[in-house]
Amino acid sequence: MWRFTAFEALLGPEDYNPDVTLPVHSSGAGRNAVARNARRSSRSRPAALKGRRGCERRAEGAMWGRLCGSGRILLLAGAARHCGRPHRTQKLFSTSSVLSATEDEPTAPTDSTTKVASKEGAAETPKQKLLKMIGDMKVEVTTKRKFQQLKEQEIKKQATNKQEGLHGGSSTFQNSAEDVQRSKPLNPELVQAASAVASSFPHNKEQAESELLAQLRRHEETTDKQRRGGTINICNVISEMTVKRQSPAQRGVRISNRISLEMDEDGQRIKPGRPSSHSDSGRSLKAGKRLNIFTKASPETENALKTVSSPTIWDLEFAKEIAAVTEQPPRNGFEEMIQWTKEGILWEFPIDNEAGMDDGAEFHEHIFLEKHLKDFPKQGPIRHFMELVICGLSKNPYLSVKQKIEHIEWFRNYFEEKKEFLQEI
Amino acid sequence: MAASALCWALRVARQVLPCPSQTRSYYVDWRMLRDVKRRKLAYEYADERLRINAIRKNTILPKELQEVADREIAALPRDSCPVRIRNRCVLTSRPRGVKRRWRLSRIVFRHFADHAQMSGIQRAMW
């Protein structure tokens, strides 16, 4: 970095003793000159060090500040400023100014050159011409409707041709028409474009042009064929083809098998050997005919397994233990949320307002509770009371049907116990 | 009695899952323990109390029945009434200055809020 080398040069020789090399003849004139030079340099400095050089100034200040501790450097600075090496500092600053000027200059001329180039080149190079031509050309977009229209047109054409054929002698006309179309000259614009592209080739321009024109002709033929043939041919072709599916697992295996990042002890990369055998075996394991070498497990044992009694407490504990041992801490936030949802800490989304409450009962079971009042007396204050209770329960959305029935049951039991007492009253 | 209560407290507190975060294996103090007992009993007897009170606070049923109900409800354990529950601070068991939403006393709340450990809490300034 030229900036710092300047200061390194300034502070370079640490063994420089300013006291010794103070010039003996530091006359007043010399001093003034030095001062003037210093002032000039200081004045020129801000002119040179603007904008981008602010960091340099800051660096300079930082460097001065950092080394302020050592008095020697201060003295050095002082000496440099006043008498020591004014010319060198001036030179350094002048170089900096020169360098800065030179840096600014290249950027300005390059801008101007690019502008000039852009203005000049457009008209001249054939490449630009070609690009312009291609940009001007319109792209014919065939939508579905258009395609159907084309189909209808060609069907009509075929019908008319068939009619003509019946009369006879039109087939030759058709063939001649095709020949005429084939020999129809290509679009002049395309020809021009082809010539421009060929001219931009480094060598064999004529050959390139002829090849391009041949390609164009072939392209035109194919498009004409397609337009006449319609979609029928394509359908026939595609129906015979089958799609080879590659499972993402296979794909991943193949990709990972290509590059191995394992390192040997020496630091050499372990290249994979021939993994084709493994992949072949992997594919052949699942596919292919069964050899029926191994007999299936007999159905008796299967039935025996199924008829095992419900798992005991010890089995449950064992299963819990296994789960607790094998579970890993969640790798990311998603797994953490899954764990919480399983524990019941986090609700299930989308939020179901009747999450823990739905007992599968219909609304009429909640509202029409008079059928539970069969055991109660039909007259009297108790009946009145119970009817009020039922009215309240029917309006309660927080209790399940079971809880409501339990409520009524409790009252029934209570009044049964108090029957004798009530009869005394 | 104290030993049995302590055992009961330990049994209650030991149902702590092995999690790496801060765990409290004991209740903060005895008052908190008693509050916990009251809450449990209140939960158990809540339905019965509701039904007996429905009989009591009545103008339809005969008064004798209501007096019997009065006696019955008075015979229930004293800790079963919900009025005896005190919303203490969950961390310090402070009975006063507890914000209901966070179940924390004002001092603990302030401590956590200043350390930015309360979600959605910010120092008010207006």
Per-residue pLDDT of chain A (425 residues; tens, 9 = 90+): 455 454 455 554 555 555 544 444 444 444 554 444 444 444 544 444 444 544 444 544 444 445 444 444 444 444 444 444 444 544 444 444 444 444 444 444 444 444 444 444 445 576 777 777 777 766 555 566 666 776 677 777 766 666 655 554 444 455 444 444 455 566 788 788 878 887 887 777 788 888 888 888 888 888 777 776 555 566 676 777 776 766 766 776 777 677 666 666 776 766 665 555 455 555 667 677 877 788 776 666 666 665 566 778 999 999 999 999 998 999 999 999 999 999 999 999 888 888 877 778 888 999 999 999 998 989 889 999 999 999 999 999 889 999 999 999 999 999 999 988 888 87
- Give B112: exposed, middle or buried? Use CB within 10 Å, 0-12, 13-18, 19+: middle
- Chain A residues lying within 8 Å of B62, measured CB to CB: 381, 422, 425
Q: Which positions in chain B touch A411 (Cβ < 8 Å)?
A: 51
Closest Cα partner for A2 from A124, A142, A97?
A: A97
* Residue that is written with structure tokens 């407290």 in the block: B9
Put simply, the answer to whether A422 touches B55 (Cβ < 8 Å) is: no
B62 vs A: CB within 8 A: yes
Pairing state of beta strands B98-99 and B104-105?
Answer: antiparallel
- What pLDDT, on a 0 to 100 scale, did the predictor assign at position A84? 45
The neighbouring-strand residues paired with B105 are B98
- CA-based nearest residue to B110, from B88, B126, B92: B92
CA distance B39 to chain A (A): 21
Q: Please state, in angstroms and rounded to a whole number, the distance separating the CA atoms of residues B105 and A279.
A: 66
- Could you please report the per-residue DSSP string of B69-110? HHHHHHHS-GGGSGGG-----TTT--SSSEETTTTEEHHHHH
Within 10 angstroms of residue A6's Cβ, the number of other Cβ atoms is 20
- CB count in 10 Å sphere of residue B33: 19
Q: Residue A415: is it exposed, middle or buried by C-beta count within 10 angstroms (0-12/13-18/19+)? A: buried
Q: What is the DSSP letter of A269?
A: B
Q: Degrees (nearest 5) of the Cα angle A35, A40, A44?
A: 150
Of B51, B58, B60, the CB nearest to A411: B51
Give dist(CA A40, CA A53) in Å, integer. 18
The pLDDT value recorded for residue A261 is 67
Separation CA A123–CA A142 (nearest Å): 34
Pairs from B75-84 (Cβ < 8 Å, separation ≥ 24):
B76/B45, B76/B48, B76/B49, B77/B41, B77/B45, B79/B37, B79/B38, B79/B41, B79/B42, B80/B41, B80/B42, B80/B44, B80/B45, B80/B49, B81/B42, B81/B49, B82/B42, B82/B46, B84/B38, B84/B42
- Give me the pLDDT at residue A21, please: 46
The residue of chain B nearest to residue A404, with distances taken between CA atoms, is B47
Question: B55, B65, B66, B68: best mutation site toward chain A, by most A Cβ within 10 Å?
Answer: B65
Please answer yes or no on whether B51 and A421 come within 8 Å at the CB atom. Answer: no
Answer whether B16 touches A (CB < 8 Å). Answer: no
Q: Which chain B residues contact residue A415 at CB under 8 A?
A: none
Nearest residue of A to residue B54 by CA position? A389
Q: How far apart are CA B106 and CA B99, in angstroms?
A: 7
How distant is the Cα of B61 from the closest Cα of chain A, in angstroms? 6
B70 touches chain A (CB under 8 A): no
What is the torsion angle, in degrees rounded to the nearest 10, for the CA atoms of residue A169, residue A170, residue A173 and residue A178? -140
pLDDT at A301: 62
Model pLDDT, residue A367: 92
Set of chain A residues whose Cβ sits within 8 Å of the Cβ of B66: none
- pLDDT of amino acid A306: 58
Cα–Cα dist A115/A120, whole Å: 9
User: Chain A residues with CB inside 8 Å of B48's CB?
Assistant: 410
Question: Quick one: tokens of A379?
Answer: 């007259």
Chain B contact set for A418 (CB, 8 A): 65, 68
Nearest-CA neighbor of A186 among A230, A217, A207, A210? A217
Give CA–CA dist A118/A276, Å, rounded: 56
Mean pLDDT in residue range B108-124: 95
The C-alpha of B60 sits at a distance from chain A's nearest C-alpha, in angstroms, of 6
Residues of B in contact with A422 (CB under 8 A): 62, 65
* Tokens coding A179: 């020949």
* B68 with A421: Cβ contact below 8 A: yes
Which residue in this structure is represented by tokens 């600075």? A77
Lowest-confidence segment of A367-381, B16-30, B107-121 by average pLDDT: B16-30
Backbone angles phi, psi at A410, to 5 degrees: -60, -45
Token digits of residue A388: 């009020």
- Under an 8 A CB cutoff, do A421 and B65 touch? yes
pTM (2 decimals)?
Answer: 0.40
Q: ipTM value, please give it.
A: 0.78
Task: Name chain B contacts of A425, Cβ cutoff 8 Å.
Answer: 62, 64-65
Interchain CB contacts (distance < 8 Å): A and B: 29
pLDDT at A96: 45
Please list every residue in chain B whose beta carbon sits closer than 8 Å to the beta carbon of residue A407. 47, 51
CB contact under 8 A, B61 and A381: yes
Q: Where does residue B104 fall: left (phi above 0), alpha (psi -120 to 50 degrees), or beta otherwise? A: beta
Work out the minimum CA distance from B52 to partner chain A, whole angstroms.
9
Residue A184 and residue A169 in contact, taking contact as beta carbons nearer than 8 Å: no
> By CA distance, what is B60's nearest residue in A?
A381
List, as one string, the DSSP characters of A330-389.
PSSHHHHHHHHHHHTSS--SSPPTTTTT--S--HHHHH--GGGGTTS-SSSHHHHHHHHH
- Which of B17, B61, B66, B71 best probes binding to A when mutated, by most A CB atoms within 10 angstroms? B61
Q: Which residue has the higher pLDDT, B65 or B17?
A: B65
